Chain A
Amino acid sequence: MSLRRANAWGASQACASALLVGFLLVPVAALVLTLRWADFLDGLRHPLLLPALRLSLLTTGTSLALVVVLGSLLAWRIARNPGRVSRWMEAITQLPAVIPPAVAGVGLLLAFGRRGLFGGWLAAHGIAPAFTTPAVVMAEAFVSAPFFVQAAIAAFRRVDENLLVVARTLGASPFRTFLRVGLPLAGPGLVAGAAMSWARSLGEFGATLLFAGNLTGRTQTLPLAVYTAMESDLRAAQALSLVMVAVAFALLFVLRRMAPGAALPAPEARGA
């Protein structure tokens, strides 16, 4: 009886695994398998591709840099100063992860658009971000920041407090302690967070469409180019999609290589 139960349990795990893994793999496989080589090469010559690729790399690179620099400082502060303020700041940074991207786009427009909360003030200083390339960066930073910040907080919390105290007694200022002890020890976690955050902003669609629009060469990133191409030419959309998959895989591979997390010793094995 118990043996039969064990078998049934094993079989359900196998079925569930096969079903879900298959479901997740099939669309990616379909992208590759249903495209003839000649069509793919045609798709690569599509006039939307190059501007969109360039814009995507430029904007996601910029938003990643912003998120990593500001996010690291914020995460360090939250990790090292437990308290009500930190808990609130942590909760707020998680908000964009649960807001639908289209809603984020509306929010960004209502905040920074021409008629938005800060729109008038910004316009008075000659800044009108909506429907420009900076708007794309803002949308991407907004939706991707939670992924980096959450990972960074977790990584910084794992750094042993005693190491930081010792660093201070050895003459390191708080900033140098962050630089020489906090950052290197949290490194693998930070890179993993940056990779997740970057992947999220590369795929960003809804907030960008609503806040930045879909202007070739200025606000049309790869996902928007796929959407636009779909309307006229499925093959081109498919080729663009494959380029995105390739770019994503390549960058994630590089980031993983940069963070040999497993090769790093655990934060100091305790005791003898």
Chain B
Amino acid sequence: MLEVRVARRLGALDLAIELSLDRETVLVAGPNGAGKSTLLRLLLGVLRPDAGRVAVDGAVLFDGDAAIDVPAEERRLAYLPQDYALFPHLDVLGNATFGLSALDRRERVRRATGWLERLGAGHLLDRSPSALSGGERQRVALARALVRTPRALLLDEPFASLDPIARRQLRASLSGWLREWRLPALIVSHDPADAELADRIAVVEDGRVVQQGTSSELRRAPASAFVAELTGTAAAVPEPVP
């Protein structure tokens, strides 16, 4: 269970978002500059909310009133940025073991290779990230995040940097994995096709959640032109008068 209530002003953006995720996948969709990536940074603990409360599985990560602000390295949230951010100076195994420094070397390697194999990247151990395809990078980045048994998964545009074929394959794989792991997962995306991954969709515009629901609920009654566009019902909504 991931409970989010955060507010933050940042330049022109005035963000105030409330979201609650059970062990389900929620797609956060919205136009560029709506505050999607800022929301992730607020949750990760690399950007401090002005006010609010973030809790996961009962553990409070941030509480403005109680002056609680757990540092990013202790939040145990898995984060996959758009380009996957593999460490270019480490090989695949070095990347996958990065988050396990508390363990001894044999246990680190055992756990990392276990996850790499589960995600179909077990044959890449000594490869450099620059020698991997986009799909392989995503698998390695997922394994690197999951070895730490995270409490929730945050993905920023997980397929944006892939070619269409890899995108379709990985979307299918990720969909299966998400069902298997049953972690609260937040996927930030502006691609309507990513909706098939999600149990629910939360549409963010100008720093606010303007509509939430399953994709059929959104299609039935789109609350804004963007939602209509996203769900492919744009024609049903009258054009705004200029």
Contact = CB atoms under 8 A, between A and B. Distances in A.
Interface of A: 160, 162-163, 165-173, 176, 180-181, 184-185, 264-272
B79 A271 contact: no
Contact of A171 (B81, B101, B161): B101
Contacts of A264: 88-89
A272 B79 contact: no
A168 B79 CA distance: 10
Given A185-B88, A265-B88, A271 B75 contact: no
Contacts of B98: 167, 170, 172, 180
Contacts of B79: 165-166, 169
B145 interface: yes
A272 B72 contact: no
Given A167-B98, A265-B88, 16 more contacts: A163-B87, A165-B41, A169-B72, A169-B78, A170-B99, A170-B145, A170-B148, A171-B99, A172-B99, A173-B71, A268-B85, A268-B86, A268-B129, A269-B130, A272-B161, A272-B162
Contacts of A165: 41, 44, 46, 72, 79, 81, 85
B89 A185 contact: yes
Given A165-B81, A168-B45, A170-B98, A271 B128 contact: no
Interface of B: 41, 44-46, 71-75, 77-79, 81, 83, 85-89, 98-99, 101-102, 128-130, 133-135, 137, 144-145, 148, 161-163, 166
Highest count of chain B CB atoms <10 Å: which of A169, A171, A173: A169
B83 A162 contact: yes
Highest count of chain A CB atoms <10 Å: which of B46, B71, B88, B134: B88
Contacts of A181: 87
A160 B161 contact: no
Contacts of A268: 83, 85-86, 88, 129-130
Given A162-B85, A181-B87, A265-B88, A169 B44 contact: yes
A272 B163 contact: yes
A170 B79 CA distance: 9
B133 A272 contact: yes
A170 B149 CA distance: 11
A171 B73 CA distance: 4
A163 B98 CA distance: 12
Given A168-B46, A170-B148, A272 B134 contact: yes
Contacts of B74: 171
A265 B72 contact: no
Highest count of chain B CB atoms <10 Å: which of A163, A170, A264: A170
A85 B162 CA distance: 40
B109 to A, nearest CB: 16
B85 A166 contact: yes
A266 B88 CA distance: 8
Contacts of A173: 71, 73
Nearest to B99: A170
Highest count of chain A CB atoms <10 Å: which of B75, B89, B148, B161: B89
B88 to A, nearest CB: 5
Nearest to A183: B89
B89 A184 contact: yes
5 contacts: A165-B85, A166-B81, A181-B87, A265-B130, A268-B83
Contact of B73 (A169, A266, A272): A169
Nearest to A269: B130
Q: Give 4 closest A-B pairs by Cβ, nearest first.
A: A272-B134, A170-B99, A168-B72, A162-B85
A94 to B, nearest CB: 29
Contacts of A162: 81, 83, 85
Highest count of chain A CB atoms <10 Å: which of B71, B73, B128, B162: B73
Nearest to A181: B87
Nearest to A184: B89
B151 to A, nearest CB: 11
A169 B87 CA distance: 13
A237 to B, nearest CB: 46
A104 B38 CA distance: 46
A169 B75 contact: yes
Contacts of A169: 44, 72-73, 75, 77-79, 145
A270 B161 contact: yes
